[in-house]
Amino acid sequence: MNDYKVVKALNNNVLIALDDNQREVVLIGKGIGFNKSKDSIIPENTVEKLFVLRNEKAQEHYKSLIPDLDENTLNTIISSIEIIRRRTRTILSEKVHVALTDHILFATTRLLNGMAIKNPFLTETKALYPFEYEVAAEVVEFINHSMQIDLPEGEIGFIALHVHSAITDKAVSDVNRYSKLIIQLIEMIEVQLRVTIDREGMEYARLLRHLRYTIERVLNDEIVQEPEKIASLLKSEYPTCYNLSWKIIKIMQQTLKKPVYEAEAVYLTMHLQRLITK
């Protein structure tokens, strides 16, 4: 069990402390800094909602955000991260805590200055990450109520990517990159097959998710087995879709810098063929 020795309180919710190994950490928790003097001891088990920031770079970034946060905003952000931790039942990584604090501060500041950002990938995010979107919707509703502001629906999409990053421990920039890759591939499919896919329809959501899980399997080095007979059958029956599948897979390989197995082309061909027949 780690006990922490207070070095100084940055405010009611954030403390600088030393852990058992005399390493500096940032402790974040609602009201954790209230009435805490230097050298106070904080037993880990007494702080139910403690968040410990150990990474030095993350600590510096987080400390630089604190002066821009009033008590209510910081309380709101800490509670928002608690909602994510509770709903996802995940121990959230340090970088997510810092990135979300940064993002919520940025979003609320822009909103108050009348400069809310439009989210061009809202439909895609909703379809790609339905659970994360649901959690993010709860977070945005809580922020709006707590800070008496009105963050637009697009913010749910942005925060959903942070939630996904928290669950998978991937950097938000990577999550963003994979989402953009998926959208690029769908545009390519539309051009090559001369189809327009209804962005609100079930087929679009299904294709988005199929590409998402393909990318996740590739990143996790998961091999999908598929009988060779099916591959040769699809090749002869649906040559257009089969060739397009391989083009898509080559783009995935180049972008993800990982091999993609033939079975993925088989599954993708079936999806594309369903699009054409629709």
Q: Where are the domains of the chain?
A: 1-54, 55-169, 182-277
Task: Please report the pLDDT score of residue 239 as a whole number.
Answer: 94
With a cut of 80, say whether residue 50 has pLDDT above it.
no
Say if residues 117 and 110 touch (Cβ distance below 8 Å). yes
Could you please state the CATH topology (level 3) that the domain comprising 182-277 is classified under. Answer: PTS-regulatory domain, PRD (1.10.1790)
Say if residues 162 and 97 touch (Cβ distance below 8 Å). no
CATH of 55-169, one of 3.40.640.10, 3.30.43.10, 1.10.1790.10, 1.10.3720.10: 1.10.1790.10
For helices 262-277 and 228-237, what crossing angle results, to 10°? 40
As to burial, measured by CB atoms within 10 angstroms (0-12 exposed, 13-18 middle, 19+ buried), residue 220 is exposed
For 28, the 3-state DSSP assignment is strand
Question: Which residue has better confidence, 45 or 108?
Answer: 108
For 19, the 3-state DSSP assignment is coil
* Long-range contact pairs involving 34-40 (C-beta distance under 8 Å, separation at least 24): 36/6, 36/9, 37/6, 38/6, 38/7, 38/8, 39/5, 39/6, 40/5, 40/6
pLDDT band at 49 (very low <50, low <70, confident <90, very high): low
Q: What DSSP character marks residue 223?
A: P
Q: Which alpha helices (DSSP H) does the chain contain, by range?
A: 56-65, 71-88, 94-112, 122-128, 130-147, 154-168, 172-193, 202-219, 228-237, 239-256, 262-277
On whether the 1-54 domain is CATH 2.60.40.10, my answer is: no
Query: Which candidate, 52, 11, 18, places its Cα nearest to that of 32?
Result: 11
| d(C-alpha 108, C-alpha 152), whole Å | 10
pLDDT band at 48 (very low <50, low <70, confident <90, very high): low
Say if residues 249 and 260 touch (Cβ distance below 8 Å). yes
Across the chain, mean pLDDT equals 90
| d(C-alpha 122, C-alpha 157), whole Å | 5
pTM, to two decimals? 0.88
Task: Please report the pLDDT score of residue 1 as a whole number.
Answer: 61
With a cut of 90, say whether residue 92 has pLDDT above it.
no
Residue bearing tokens 């898509």: 248
Whether 55-169 and 1-54 are alike in CATH topology: the answer is no
Task: Please report the pLDDT score of residue 227 as a whole number.
Answer: 65
